[in-house]
Amino acid sequence: MPHIILIICVLFSLALAMAVFVNPLLLQAPQAYFPREEVVEEFSESVALLETISELDVDLKMGKLSQEDYERLSLKYKRRFLDLKKQEA
pTM (2 decimals)? 0.54
Tell me what pLDDT residue 58 has.
94
**Sequence-separated contacts (24+) of 82-89 with Cβ below 8 Å:** 84/45, 84/46, 84/49, 85/46, 88/46
Whether the Cβ atoms of residue 81 and residue 49 lie closer than 8 Å to each other = yes
pLDDT in tens, the chain (89 residues): 778 887 888 888 888 877 777 766 677 666 667 767 776 677 889 999 999 999 999 999 999 999 999 999 999 999 999 999 999 87
**Res 24: pLDDT:** 67
Among 73, 83, 72, 76, residue whose Cα is nearest residue 46: 83
Return the domain boundaries, the chain: 2-27+43-88
Q: What is the pLDDT of residue 56?
A: 95
